[in-house]
Copies of this chain bind each other. A is one copy, B any other.
Amino acid sequence: MSTIRGARERARIEVTAAIKDEARKQLAAEGAAKLSLRAVARELGMASSALYRYFPSRDDLLTALIVDAYDAVGEAAETARATADRARPRPAPYADRWVAVAGAVREWALAHPHEYALIYGSPVPGYSAPMDTVGPASRVGMVLIGLIRDAFREDGLAVPPLAAELRAEAERIAADIAPDLPPAVAPALVAAWAQLFGLISFEIFGQFNRMVEAREQLFRQAAGELARSVGLRGSPAAG
């Protein structure tokens, strides 16, 4: 299925990867705004025009980086989940696993701030994300949903109260993302999802500068509260 057929194809894969690597390097160094195709080509020792054989435009290169970034955070979240599940002597309560997943996302963001900015920064209105991105973009969300679903099946959920005006919407969302969950958790879940990234974004983008010092503790505390808001019962001493 993925057998490489010849030298040409093999070279294409390698060059494509080299371009993305160099682009990522420039992204980390100067930010997305200053990422330049010509500079990438220069650094790779090739003509700038040759680069267009691999990515038809600068936006396409950026899109590829976006997809990779989504995949990277998604994988970070997934391995965090898997690791938490495998804890000994027994896995921690689901609320703690939620915090672990959230913490992994935060760690990834701290380690790759520019890539984080690329995907959760300013996907300006008017530029609608290409279809390629929607799959990878949902991986983190999927981990969170899966966590809630498993917690529901195993321990049950402290289903949050649902405002009357949100009932229809709750059922719509639930049908969309998790038909087997009580509808009331659906709005709480999307809200918690957004708020999680609000916490991370504020930290990454420097809004906490000269104000919050113990950022990890603050984040863990807030993430724990969010876990409760979606119905997860935490360990009593969790904080």
Contact = CB atoms under 8 A, between A and B. Distances in A.
Given A33-B33, A198-B198, A173 B122 contact: no
A206 B123 contact: yes
A132 to B, nearest CB: 15
B122 A221 contact: no
Contacts of A217: 163, 165-166, 169
A146 interface: no
Interface stretch (A2-10, A12-20, A186-194): A186-194
A218 B176 CA distance: 16
A165 B208 CA distance: 18
Contact of A213 (B121, B172, B208, B222): B172
Contact of A202 (B122, B194, B221): B194
A212 interface: yes
A196 interface: yes
Nearest to A214: B169
A25 B199 CA distance: 31
9 contacts: A117-B122, A123-B205, A123-B206, A166-B221, A169-B217, A187-B222, A195-B195, A196-B198, A197-B201
Interface of A: 30-33, 113-114, 117-118, 120-129, 163-166, 168-169, 172-173, 176-177, 187, 190-191, 193-199, 201-209, 211-214, 217-218, 221-222, 225, 229, 239
